[in-house]
Homo-oligomer: A and B are copies of this chain.
Amino acid sequence: LRIVDNDGVDALTMRRLAGELGVNPMSIYHHLPGKAAVLSGLVEVVFSKIPAPAATAAPWQQQIKRAARVIRTGLVAHRNLAPLVVTDPGVVADAQITVAEPIYAALETVGVSPRSAVDAVNALVDFVRGSLIAEVAVPPEGFDVGPSLRERLRTLPPGTAPALARVLDALGADGMAYDFDAGFDACLDLLIAGIEAGLRSPAPSEERNRS
């Protein structure tokens, strides 16, 4: 995991790993079936290190935000592995249970219908997944970050994205750096507002299958 954190997933080589462990490269095969097992082991370690948020008496909105933030911080801590974690079929399946449970519990306290709860959890979990990918896709520290959104937009033929251009203009010069934490929170608030709206006007019950 240290190798991956420092030098990326590609740097994790059976020979390198063995060297770092001070053993013969082939010895690893007596404990694990292959490299895939090494990687999925790392993925599972990182995923399972995500702590379950302590149950509190806080309002359900805060419980949900807390659960989402815990996932996010747990995975950005190993940003080189994050794409694998978030993509791993086993993790995707387990996420429906482990990380979703606190959210289900919070929604239950306000009487969200089962179907709506599933939708809300999926929306939340998928958003967290997607925002994580976006976050780890940009080079480490805003440092050496490619041309900013504003500059890239300027190089395109004018009129390509007029609405975006107007938004950037309106935001003014203070909108130079993106704060992932604040953006993440704002999106969470939006999702939660959507759930609240569903509470006030119960969902139209269409025919749908779920598992």
In the complex, A187 has a CB within 8 A of chain B: yes
| Stretch touching chain B among A26-34, A39-47, A191-199 | A191-199
Check: A208 CB closer than 8 A to any chain B CB.
yes
Which single residue of chain B is at the shortest CB-CB distance from A139?
Answer: B89
Q: How large is the interface on A (under 10, 10 to 19, 20 to 34, 35 or more residues)?
A: 35 or more
Query: A residues 166-211 with Cβ under 8 Å of B?
Result: 166-168, 170-171, 174-179, 182-183, 186-187, 189-198, 203, 206, 208-211
In this assembly, does A92 line the interface, its C-beta being within 8 Å of a C-beta of chain B? yes
Give A103 Cβ to nearest chain B Cβ, in Å. 8
Is A89 a contact partner of B137 (Cβ separation < 8 A)? yes
A92 touches B161 (CB 8 A): no
Q: Name the prevailing secondary structure of the A interface residues.
A: helix
What B residues does A133 contact at CB under 8 A? Answer: 86-87, 92, 126, 129-130, 133
With a cutoff of 8 Å between Cβ atoms, the chain B residues found around residue A129 in the complex are 129-131, 133-134
A3 touches B (CB below 8 Å): no
User: How many Å from the CB of A209 to the closest CB on chain B?
Assistant: 5
Question: How far, in Å, is A96 (CB) from chain B's closest CB?
Answer: 6
Flag if A211 contacts B148 (CB, 8 Å): yes
Q: Select A126's contact among B108, B130, B194, beta carbons within 8 Å.
A: B130
Residues 112-153 of A, flagged 1 when their CB comes within 8 A of B and 0 if not, give: 001101111011011111111110011100000010111011
> Is B187 touching A190 in the complex (CB atoms < 8 A)?
no
